[in-house]
Amino acid sequence: MRQTLKKLASYYRPYLPLFLADMFFAILGAAVTLVIPLIVRYITNEVLALDSEEALNKIMSLGILMLALVAVEFICNYFITNFGHVMGAKIEYDMRAEIFAHYQRLSFSFFNNQKVGQLLSRITSDLFDISELLHHGPEDLLISLIKIVGSFVILIQIDTRLTLIAFAFVPVMLLYAAYFNTRMKRAFKRNREKIADVNSQIEDNLSGIRVVKSFANEDMEMDKFAEGNRGFLAAKKNSYFYMAGYHSGLNALTTMITIAVLIAGAAMITDGRVDVADLVTFLLYINTFTEPVKKLINFTEQFQNGYTGYERFREMMAVLPDIEDSPDAVEIAEVKGDISFENVSFHYEENTETVLQHISLEVKAGDYVALVGSSGAGKSTLCNLIPRFYDVTEGAVKIDGMDVRKIALKSLRSQIGIVQQDVYLFVGTVLDNIRYGKPDASREEIIKAAKNANAHEFIMSLPDGYDTDIGQRGVKLSGGQKQRLSIARVFLKNPPILIFDEATSSLDNESEKVVQESLEKLAKDRTTFVIAHRLSTIRNARKILVLTDSGIEEEGTHEELLEKNGIYAKLYHIQ
């Protein structure tokens, strides 16, 4: 915990002047609060004993002084509330940027096992609670300590016995708080887990809302959501049970302090051991030190919220990417496109079953290679090893004779273009989505890429042409149109190596023909890997590889494989 808090405190470093100013105004505001009851005591004890004219003049002067102190307190509170919150928001900004950048570095294998809603929860609600703790925590602690210690010093000088009666309740309050604190921490952690589950379920439902409606399964989704929502409600009820005991108990104890002092003070007045002015001052100061006790109550709840959120933040930041640049990784600029697989074997970490076994393959620059075979044979996996979405378990994948593990990831992936079956388009315009292939591209370059992808004509028919908003995931476009935009994106990137992962399998015949023309145009003079289920789309491939669970079973051109009358011929005749 000490190391965690030390790391948490390091987020103040860029904003140290603002933090120190916040602490200064917190101290000043607390000091003002302590001074005002002393002035009240002075008026009741000393000023009221003077003759009426002199007393009135003193009261007016002291009234002006108290108004000035109120103005100072206003400035202090304004600074703390405004600039203190801004500091918290800036720290939240930094932490959100840190965790988002961390998400970008994590590997495919991590995202295979995560829910988007869970990841989203860590970057939104968790961070808000952390920033609230970092803003309010130090100032609340400082203000509370100053007020409690200051009140104790002043009160003990007024009357030792009443002070001991008042502060005798503090150890009881601390023990009471400690008992509930541990239970609240567990309850708050459970809350975070449950709300993350609910977020994940909502994200999953809204992303697939068209599937939900097409199957008329709204009621089923409501039932699934209700189950998750009930889990969150149960966790909330549990946390509120402990919060209720915590708050109500401590509030009762603070009220009991006032009652105890009032009764003891009144009894002492009757035998002349305490005068009325001192009792009034005492009651004013009791409020001054019970208010920071309540603030500490709020702080402990806030601390549990913020600290459990930070623990979840650190858990995520502690996840290391599976795929990283090696210390001696190099940049590559000019790539011919020779690719070799040397005795490559692979299995996913969570599965000991080998997907690829001892694959050896040589692909020359500019070759057009097609991969066919049954689902699960490892076609996509084989291609995913080239851009290092996963690392080989054994052997090596090389580009121009260099092991891909020795190439800087950004440099490696900049040389590879991928067109997938499941096209992902971002929220924004047609122009934005094509430009994703080359962020600094001019409008003319984007239009040229669209023309090469046979996309320009349909783009110009859209309401605002290249500036048309295409909706979430390109929902306003057809499958063929989305696919052509993804091809235009790769045309703009202009890489020497291409991977087509079943890029036309989900299209109708007419769209497939247009997209296939675009793909073949894109593939010209580039090293190309095509994963295909429709064998008619790969008849012109220079080399066709037939993958099975045992590895590469057949290899050759379309005609050569038909003559062999083996697996490929059987697949082709079935189609």
Query: In this structure, how many other beta carbons lie within 10 angstroms of the beta carbon of residue 113?
Result: 8
C-alpha to C-alpha distance for 575 and 567, rounded to whole angstroms: 13
* Percent over 90 (pLDDT), the chain: 12
* Structural contact between residues 147 and 34, judged by C-beta atoms closer than 8 angstroms: yes
Contacts of 230 (CB under 8 A, 6+ apart): none
C-alpha to C-alpha distance for 336 and 570, rounded to whole angstroms: 35
> 339-574 has which fold?
Rossmann fold (3.40.50)
C-alpha to C-alpha distance for 343 and 394, rounded to whole angstroms: 7
* Percent over 70 (pLDDT), the chain: 96
Q: What is the mean pLDDT of residues 197-213?
A: 73
Q: Where are the domains of the chain?
A: 2-317, 339-574
C-alpha to C-alpha distance for 125 and 144, rounded to whole angstroms: 27
Strands 497-501 and 416-420, sheet pairing: parallel
Q: What is the mean pLDDT of residues 333-341?
A: 89
Q: What is the mean pLDDT of residues 527-546?
A: 82
The pLDDT value recorded for residue 397 is 94
C-alpha to C-alpha distance for 564 and 556, rounded to whole angstroms: 10
64 pLDDT band, cuts 50/70/90, is very high
Apex 98 CA angle, 96 and 101, nearest 5: 105
Of 82-96, 122-136, 335-349, 556-570, minimum mean pLDDT range: 122-136
Q: Where are the beta strands (DSSP E) in 198-261?
A: none
Choose from 62-76, 304-318, 498-512 the range with maximum mean pLDDT. 62-76
For residue 492, give both structure tokens: 């703009």
507 pLDDT band, cuts 50/70/90, is low
Of 300-314, 383-397, 510-524, minimum mean pLDDT range: 510-524
531 beta partners: 371, 501
Residue with tokens 């190439």: 407
The pLDDT value recorded for residue 351 is 62
The pLDDT value recorded for residue 341 is 92
Residue-wise pLDDT tens digits, 408-421: 988 998 898 888 87
Cα dihedral value 486, 490, 491, 493, nearest 10: 140
194 pLDDT band, cuts 50/70/90, is confident
Q: What is the mean pLDDT of residues 261-283?
A: 81
Amino acid identity for residue 484 in this structure:
R
* Structural contact between residues 361 and 340, judged by C-beta atoms closer than 8 angstroms: yes
C-alpha to C-alpha distance for 275 and 282, rounded to whole angstroms: 11
> Above 80 in pLDDT, residue 315?
yes
Q: What is the mean pLDDT of residues 26-41?
A: 86
107 pLDDT band, cuts 50/70/90, is confident
* Structural contact between residues 73 and 16, judged by C-beta atoms closer than 8 angstroms: no
Q: Where are the beta strands (DSSP E) in 211-334?
A: none
The pLDDT value recorded for residue 214 is 64
> Above 90 in pLDDT, residue 25?
yes
Residue with tokens 């405004």: 82
Strands 543-548 and 551-556, sheet pairing: antiparallel
> 2-317 has which fold?
ABC transporter transmembrane region fold (1.20.1560)
Please report the sign of the dihedral spanned by the C-alpha atoms of residue 248, residue 249, residue 255, residue 259: positive
C-alpha to C-alpha distance for 231 and 223, rounded to whole angstroms: 13
76 pLDDT band, cuts 50/70/90, is very high
Contacts of 140 (CB under 8 A, 6+ apart): 295, 296, 298, 299, 302
Q: What is the mean pLDDT of residues 434-452?
A: 89
The pLDDT value recorded for residue 234 is 85
Rounded to an integer, what is the distance from CA 60 to the centroid of its chain?
A: 57
* Structural contact between residues 285 and 163, judged by C-beta atoms closer than 8 angstroms: no
Q: What is the mean pLDDT of residues 418-429?
A: 82
> Above 70 in pLDDT, residue 505?
no
DSSP type of residue 469: B
Amino acid identity for residue 523 in this structure:
A
The pLDDT value recorded for residue 508 is 63
pTM score of the predicted model: 0.72
50 pLDDT band, cuts 50/70/90, is confident
> Above 70 in pLDDT, residue 217?
yes
Mean pLDDT for all residues in the chain: 84
The pLDDT value recorded for residue 131 is 84
503 pLDDT band, cuts 50/70/90, is low
Residue with tokens 């952390």: 130
